[in-house]
Protein backbone atom coordinates (compact mmCIF):
# COMPACT_ATOMS: atom_id res chain seq x y z
CA UNK A 1 0.00 0.00 0.00
CA UNK A 2 1.38 3.40 -0.96
CA UNK A 3 0.57 7.00 -0.21
CA UNK A 4 -0.87 7.97 -3.59
CA UNK A 5 -4.62 8.45 -3.58
CA UNK A 6 -7.23 10.27 -1.53
CA UNK A 7 -7.15 10.13 2.26
CA UNK A 8 -9.85 11.19 4.71
CA UNK A 9 -8.40 13.38 7.46
CA UNK A 10 -9.92 12.00 10.66
CA UNK A 11 -7.94 13.82 13.37
CA UNK A 12 -5.88 16.98 13.76
CA UNK A 13 -3.95 18.22 16.79
CA UNK A 14 -5.40 21.74 16.85
CA UNK A 15 -9.01 21.28 15.75
CA UNK A 16 -11.87 18.89 16.47
CA UNK A 17 -13.69 16.84 13.82
CA UNK A 18 -16.57 19.31 13.48
CA UNK A 19 -14.12 22.14 12.73
CA UNK A 20 -11.96 20.19 10.27
CA UNK A 21 -15.09 19.16 8.32
CA UNK A 22 -16.46 22.73 8.16
CA UNK A 23 -16.68 22.82 4.34
CA UNK A 24 -17.19 19.10 3.83
CA UNK A 25 -15.16 16.00 4.62
CA UNK A 26 -11.52 16.99 5.22
CA UNK A 27 -9.08 15.24 2.89
CA UNK A 28 -5.56 15.14 1.54
CA UNK A 29 -4.86 13.61 -1.87
CA UNK A 30 -1.48 12.64 -3.30
CA UNK A 31 -0.56 11.98 -6.94
CA UNK A 32 2.86 11.21 -8.46
CA UNK A 33 4.10 14.81 -8.30
CA UNK A 34 1.29 16.84 -6.77
CA UNK A 35 -1.86 16.77 -4.79
CA UNK A 36 -4.44 18.79 -2.90
CA UNK A 37 -6.07 19.07 0.49
CA UNK A 38 -8.92 20.78 2.31
CA UNK A 39 -9.77 21.15 5.98
CA UNK A 40 -11.64 23.88 7.89
CA UNK A 41 -11.59 26.79 5.37
CA UNK A 42 -8.06 26.01 4.16
CA UNK A 43 -7.33 24.44 0.80
CA UNK A 44 -4.13 23.98 -1.14
CA UNK A 45 -2.38 22.51 -4.13
CA UNK A 46 0.79 20.58 -3.33
CA UNK A 47 4.10 19.87 -5.00
CA UNK A 48 5.26 16.50 -3.64
CA UNK A 49 8.47 14.53 -3.28
CA UNK A 50 7.89 10.83 -2.56
CA UNK A 51 10.37 8.52 -0.85
CA UNK A 52 10.80 6.34 2.22
CA UNK A 53 11.44 7.10 5.87
CA UNK A 54 12.59 4.21 8.09
CA UNK A 55 11.23 1.73 5.56
CA UNK A 56 7.78 3.34 5.25
CA UNK A 57 6.36 5.30 2.29
CA UNK A 58 6.82 9.01 2.97
CA UNK A 59 6.05 12.25 1.16
CA UNK A 60 7.28 15.79 1.76
CA UNK A 61 5.41 18.66 0.17
CA UNK A 62 5.10 22.40 -0.25
CA UNK A 63 1.74 23.97 -0.90
CA UNK A 64 -0.02 27.14 -2.04
CA UNK A 65 -3.68 27.89 -1.61
CA UNK A 66 -6.15 29.79 0.53
CA UNK A 67 -6.96 30.24 4.19
CA UNK A 68 -10.48 31.72 4.46
CA UNK A 69 -10.04 33.15 0.92
CA UNK A 70 -6.70 34.81 1.77
CA UNK A 71 -3.58 33.58 -0.04
CA UNK A 72 -1.67 31.02 2.04
CA UNK A 73 1.25 28.65 1.64
CA UNK A 74 3.37 26.27 3.65
CA UNK A 75 4.86 22.81 3.74
CA UNK A 76 4.35 19.45 5.35
CA UNK A 77 4.98 15.74 5.32
CA UNK A 78 3.15 12.44 5.71
CA UNK A 79 4.23 8.86 6.41
CA UNK A 80 2.28 5.64 5.98
CA UNK A 81 2.19 3.82 9.31
CA UNK A 82 2.21 0.06 9.88
CA UNK A 83 -1.50 0.16 10.77
CA UNK A 84 -2.36 1.53 7.29
CA UNK A 85 -3.12 5.05 8.49
CA UNK A 86 -1.34 8.15 7.29
CA UNK A 87 0.31 10.39 9.90
CA UNK A 88 1.74 13.79 9.09
CA UNK A 89 2.18 17.43 9.89
CA UNK A 90 1.04 20.50 7.96
CA UNK A 91 2.61 23.92 8.43
CA UNK A 92 0.96 27.22 7.43
CA UNK A 93 3.54 29.90 6.63
CA UNK A 94 3.51 32.50 9.44
CA UNK A 95 0.61 30.65 11.09
CA UNK A 96 -0.47 27.42 12.73
CA UNK A 97 0.94 23.95 12.37
CA UNK A 98 -0.89 20.75 13.15
CA UNK A 99 -0.36 17.04 13.10
CA UNK A 100 -2.98 14.97 11.31
CA UNK A 101 -4.08 11.38 10.88
CA UNK A 102 -5.90 10.09 7.81
CA UNK A 103 -7.40 6.86 6.50
CA UNK A 104 -7.95 5.79 2.90
CA UNK A 105 -10.96 7.63 1.54
CA UNK A 106 -13.28 4.68 0.93
CA UNK A 107 -16.70 3.76 2.26
CA UNK A 108 -15.01 0.81 4.04
CA UNK A 109 -12.46 3.13 5.71
CA UNK A 110 -15.19 5.50 6.84
CA UNK A 111 -17.22 2.69 8.42
CA UNK A 112 -14.15 1.36 10.29
CA UNK A 113 -13.48 4.82 11.72
CA UNK A 114 -17.11 5.24 12.81
CA UNK A 115 -17.01 1.82 14.47
CA UNK A 116 -13.82 2.76 16.38
CA UNK A 117 -15.39 6.01 17.64
CA UNK A 118 -18.51 4.17 18.76
CA UNK A 119 -16.39 1.50 20.44
CA UNK A 120 -14.37 4.15 22.34
CA UNK A 121 -17.55 5.85 23.56
CA UNK A 122 -18.97 2.56 24.85
CA UNK A 123 -15.77 1.72 26.81
CA UNK A 124 -15.61 5.08 28.62
Contacts of 83 (CB under 8 A, 6+ apart): none
CATH no. for 5-123: 2.40.128
Separation CA 123–CA 61 (nearest Å)? 38
- Per-residue pLDDT at 117: 42
Does the reported pTM lie above 0.75?
yes
Where are the domains positioned within the chain? 5-123
**pLDDT one digit per residue (tens) for the chain, 124 residues:** 589 999 999 999 999 999 999 999 999 999 988 999 999 999 999 999 999 999 999 999 999 999 999 999 999 999 999 999 999 999 999 999 999 999 999 765 444 444 444 334 444 4
Q: How far apart are CA 29 and CA 31, in angstroms?
A: 7
Amino acid sequence: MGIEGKWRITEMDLWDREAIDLLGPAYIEFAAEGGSFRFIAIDGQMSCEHGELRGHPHVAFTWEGNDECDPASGHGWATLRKDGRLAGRLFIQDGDESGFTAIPSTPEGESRTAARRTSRRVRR
